[in-house]
Chains A and B, each alone.
Chain A
Amino acid sequence: GIQVEQSPPDLILQEGANSTLRCNFSDSVNNLQWFHQNPWGQLINLFYIPSGTKQNGRLSATTVATERYSLLYISSSQTTDSGVYFCAVMDDNYGQNFVFGPGTRLSVLP
């Protein structure tokens, strides 16, 4: 099945800093989503982005499907950005479920 990797596994930032999180996947996809899992465990939808670029406030994401990666940019980070960021993909080859990466754990320090 499709493999999903995320980097870095852990990231510590000072408030106000910018960061880039990466998601690599091993096969073509028809769905890619970025989630933020907050300290209470809730998976919050950030972007539905099987291809192209989207922006939402301080966050933006780019998926280059032909090169099998996606990037999540966080600018001017805030302590509330802390948590785990997951990339989830659906395989274009008869995939019927979302495969999650291992996540990037982000800690933003005041």
Chain B
Amino acid sequence: GAGVSQTPSNKVTEKGKYVELRCDPISGHTALYWYRQSLGQGPEFLIYFQGTGAADDSGLPNDRFFAVRPEGSVSTLKIQRTERGDSAVYLCASSPRGPPALEAFFGQGTRLTVV
């Protein structure tokens, strides 16, 4: 596609449930980033993929969060045993290459609400 695509746009889930958020990067972009944005804050880094491997997962808040990118394209962010504090907008970005990165482009985000 022309841009970074994220699905779903909105997700409401009950506390304790498992969710998956999907990111389709721009075709040919090898670098993929996940960010989380809480209301009134700037985006905060979660994890960076270079190709299929997670090159930096230092931003994942705890072991309930996990992400994969098995074929070096689509990525899935997985959250187990969701908590109300996980409610936020989850943003995905891609760039033609990793560090030093070129211009990165963001998707429209997935708004996750845990009730």
**A positions within 8 Å CB-CB of B:** 30-31, 33, 35, 40-43, 45, 48, 86, 88, 90, 92, 94-103
CA–CA, A94 and B101, complex, Å = 11
Tell me whether A96 and B42 are in contact (CB under 8 A): no
User: A41-B89, A42-B109, A102-B41 are contacts. A48–B33 as well, Cβ < 8 Å?
Assistant: no
Does B99 count as interface, using CB distance less than 8 angstroms? Answer: yes
Beyond A97-B48, A98-B33, is A35–B41 a contact (Cβ under 8 Å)?
A: no
Interface range on chain B (Cβ under 8 Å from partner)? 20 to 34
Whether a CB of chain A sits under 8 angstroms from the CB of B98 is yes
22 example contacts (A-B, Cβ-Cβ < 8 A) are as follows A30-B100, A31-B100, A31-B101, A35-B106, A42-B109, A45-B103, A45-B106, A48-B102, A48-B103, A88-B104, A90-B100, A96-B98, A97-B33, A97-B45, A97-B48, A98-B45, A98-B93, A98-B101, A99-B45, A100-B35, A100-B44, A102-B42
**Chain A interface secondary structure, helix, strand, loop or mixed?**
strand
Beyond A30-B101, A86-B43, A96-B98, 4 additional pairs, beta carbon < 8 A: A31-B102, A41-B109, A45-B105, A96-B48
Contact across chains for A41 and B103 when beta carbons are under 8 A apart: no
Q: How far is the CB of A36 from chain B (nearest CB, A)?
A: 11
**Is there contact, CB below 8 Å, between B43 and A100?**
yes
Once the chains are docked, how many angstroms separate the CA of A43 from the CA of B42? 11
